[in-house]
Amino acid sequence: MKVLILANNSVGLYKFRKELLEALLANKHEVLISLPNGDFIDDMQQMGCHFIETEISRHGTNPLTDLALTKKYCSIIKSVKPDIVFTWSWNSCGKWRNPSENHLGAV
The β-bridge relationship of strands 50-53 and 30-35 is parallel
Residue 105 is assigned to a structural domain of this protein:
no
**Boundaries of domain holding 13:** 2-98
Other Cβ atoms less than 10 A from the Cβ of 58: the count is 11
Residue 33 is assigned to a structural domain of this protein:
yes
pLDDT digits (tens, 9 = 90+) for 26-49: 999 999 999 999 999 999 999 999
**Count of structural domains within the chain:** 1
Question: CATH number of the domain that 58 lies in?
Answer: 3.40.50.2000
> The pTM is what?
0.80
* Residue (of 33, 11, 38) closest to 21 by Cα position: 33
Task: Sheet containing 2-7: give its strands across.
Answer: 50-53, 30-35, 2-7, 84-88
pLDDT number for residue 90: 55
Residue 107 is assigned to a structural domain of this protein:
no
Most confident of 31-35, 55-59, 62-66: 31-35
Residue 104 is assigned to a structural domain of this protein:
no
* pLDDT exceeds 90 at position 50: yes
**Cα 91 from Cα 12, distance rounded (Å):** 13
